[in-house]
Structure 1
Amino acid sequence: MKATIQSVLFFPITKMIVGIVVCFSLFVAFQNFVSKPLFYGIIQDKSIADPIIHLVSVTVLLLSYYCLFRFYDNRKITELSIKHLPKEMFGGFALGFLTISLTIAILYFLGHFQFFSISAEHYSLKLFGLLMLAALIEDLFFRGIIVRISENWLGTNIALIIGMLFETDHLFNPNANLFSVFFILIWGFTMAMLFVYTKRIWLPFFFHLGWNFAQPFYGSNLTGLDDMGRIIQSKLDGPEIFTGGAVGVEGSIFTALFLLLIGITLYILARKEGKIIRRPARTKRTAIS
């Protein structure tokens, strides 16, 4: 009986469910019953209180993940190692920002991007904090839990497919279209590879953050949302396949191609460096039987 309970408790799918439910529940409970009552009570201005609440929420989410899997797996939580944090933080953010910037540059030279002015008046720390929290939730759960556990269980290649499929929840974003399916699968592949290559959460997280910051920075919608602020006052005008239309510049064919190039490059490097995990033989035997 004890062996059966342990086999169920430590089954990979069970670990995924437990990890997501426990971490998300602790995060929501702490934010709603501790952070918000505390900081809204001390700071009347929500534009100041909310960024602090988001920062505390990020800390709580990371701590809950660390403590849960430190106890659950009885191992060092290497995916949260800060040994290479500065390089992965600045490199990831710069790469994410640059990817969007390259598309903007192409659109500018094609005459589809017009620049009017620059001002931080329509952007706030609250919006940036919200983007940071949203990126961490997605990357911690999709990459840190689902891709990591799937890779150790079924091998890297199948884990990449699983990571791509989980990203299809973005099809429910506003203004998603047929091309969104193509982009979302590429996004899932490349984001999974950012994790697979480093085996840490930081590179995909900061890439995601730079990516999310760059779009409103240039005055674009962000995944179909038009209320995420803007720093550059601009106009995107042209074929939807080039500009991304209402989805935003991430929906551009140029952005998708740059993103795919990053993912393929990382996959090739990972293969050369022996970072691609093969499907364990015992899993194959189980599948056959």
Structure 2
Amino acid sequence: MSPRTLLWNSTERRPRAPLRLLATPLVVILVAIIVGIAVGGTVSALLGTSRFGRLVISLVSVSTTGLAGFLVARYIDRRTVSDLGFGIDRDWLLDLGFGLALGGVLMTLIFLVGLATDWIAVTPVQLGVDRVLGVVALFVFFIAVGISEELLLRGVVLTNVAEGLRWRFDVPTALTTALVVSSAVFGIAHLQNPNSSLASTLSITLAGVMLGLGYVLTGDLAIPTGIHISWNFVQGGVYGFAVSGLDFGTSLVETTERGPDVVTGGPFGPEAGLLGVGAMVVGALCIAWYVQFRYGTLGLDSSVSVPELRWKETES
């Protein structure tokens, strides 16, 4: 096999999967640098170091991740827009609604169990205009987080691993391996967050499995995107928990963890504790039930490992 054949798939007219995966973090870094130079200084100068200003800067930073994921999927993976997992139609929106509802319910269950067991305590807050606006801004931020991270981690990483393995293994093996690999990358990516630990990394990896399950069972990113948005927002913007180690300081309710860290997750937030792990397991079961109920079948969607390529679209 020639060096060109090792790097280039002539049948698909694009780089091979390992090269596409290696290119992904490079594109993320490059886009972050370009956006940082183009608008980062301007945003900082206009908004300063206020809490709102830091939130806007974080929003820009997160959005660059989604932009990088889109650029990789379109121009390196060479996939169509519908193949990115965002083929928005009525069914997609229904699945998104289910994901949004499930993420909020799971985090509410964590909150209620914590209250019932006295593992968390609620601190009264004054709901002024500033706090409400802060919560709204946080909701917008978590929409960007959900879309960007799902596009990059599931839409690009999981998909490329699955596409790369489908030639050597059967579809279930390729998709299961891709789910595990992308979830591990998701967990490791959160190591840089404040108060991270081995326990938090493992729990975030499990969260990646729950989110990825909605993708590999349906072939769309609607369910994981919905869960990702509402899980984070209800966690940080409603109940005031830390979100993957990040304390945003504005929420409708303020809580204090009083139980053991192994249960509550401590300063990293519920995701690093047994409450969060339990919610993820329940979430995975609910996703499986929903897919069975809604589509009448439950199985791995082979379309995740078979790309719809742009050049084929233009030739048809």
Taking structure 2 as the reference length, the TM-score comes to 0.71
Aligned to 2:300: 275
Does residue 159 of structure 1 match 2:159? no
Choose from 131, 150, 153 the match for 2:142.
131
Separation (CA, whole Å) in 2 of partners of 1:66 and 1:191: 19
Q: How does 1:59-208 map to 2 (within 5 A)?
A: 65-66=69-70, 68-77=72-81, 78=83, 79-83=85-89, 84-118=91-125, 119=127, 121-122=130-131, 123-154=134-165, 155-169=174-188, 170-208=190-228
Matched letter for residue 17 of structure 2? P
Matched letter for residue 101 of structure 1? T
Contact 1:27 1:57 in 2 (8 A): no
Matched letter for residue 212 of structure 2? A
Q: Which segment is superposed worse, 136-145 or 71-80?
A: 71-80
Contact 2:73 2:156 in 1 (8 A): no
**Structure 1: 5+ residue runs without aligned partners?**
281-289
Matched letter for residue 229 of structure 1? T
Q: Please give the secondary structure, in 2, of the residue aligned with 1:115.
A: strand
Separation (CA, whole Å) in 2 of partners of 1:241 and 1:76: 44
Structure 1 61/177 Cα, relative in aligned 2: closer, same or farther at 3 Å? closer
Separation (CA, whole Å) in 1 of partners of 2:241 and 2:298: 37
Q: Residue 149 of structure 1: CA displacement?
A: 1.3
Q: Please give the secondary structure, in 1, of the residue aligned with 2:27.
A: helix
Structure 1 49/178 Cα, relative in aligned 2: closer, same or farther at 3 Å? closer
Q: Please give the secondary structure, in 2, of the residue aligned with 1:80.
A: coil
Aligned to 2:38: 33
Aligned to 1:18: 23
**Structure 2: 5+ residue runs without aligned partners?**
166-173, 306-316
Q: Deviations over 1:67-125 (max 9, x none)?
A: 65344455433212111443233322221121111011111111233334352644344
Separation (CA, whole Å) in 2 of partners of 1:153 and 1:187: 24
Aligned to 1:225: 246
Contact 1:48 1:126 in 2 (8 A): no
Aligned to 1:249: 270
Q: Residue 159 of structure 1: CA displacement?
A: 0.8
Contact 1:93 1:209 in 2 (8 A): yes
Separation (CA, whole Å) in 2 of partners of 1:69 and 1:167: 18
Kindly tell me the number of residue pairs found equivalent between the two proteins: 277
Q: Residue 211 of structure 1: CA displacement?
A: 1.2
Separation (CA, whole Å) in 2 of partners of 1:51 and 1:227: 12
Q: Which segment is superposed worse, 94-103 or 80-89?
A: 80-89
Q: Which segment is superposed worse, 177-186 or 236-245?
A: 177-186
Structure 1 226/10 Cα, relative in aligned 2: closer, same or farther at 3 Å? same
Separation (CA, whole Å) in 1 of partners of 2:136 and 2:178: 35
Q: Deviations over 1:15-45 (max 9, x none)?
A: 12334433553365246415874x789x779
Matched letter for residue 121 of structure 2? Q
Q: What percentage of residue pairs aligned between the two structures are identical?
A: 19
Q: Please give the secondary structure, in 2, of the residue aligned with 1:219.
A: coil
Q: CA RMSD in A?
A: 3.6
Structure 1 32/91 Cα, relative in aligned 2: closer, same or farther at 3 Å? farther
Contact 1:113 1:235 in 2 (8 A): yes
Contact 1:51 1:129 in 2 (8 A): no
Choose from 259, 263, 271 the match for 2:280.
259
Structure 1 127/86 Cα, relative in aligned 2: closer, same or farther at 3 Å? same
Matched letter for residue 136 of structure 1? I
Separation (CA, whole Å) in 1 of partners of 2:274 and 2:177: 26
Choose from 243, 256, 261 the match for 1:240.
261
Q: Residue 6 of structure 1: CA displacement?
A: 2.1
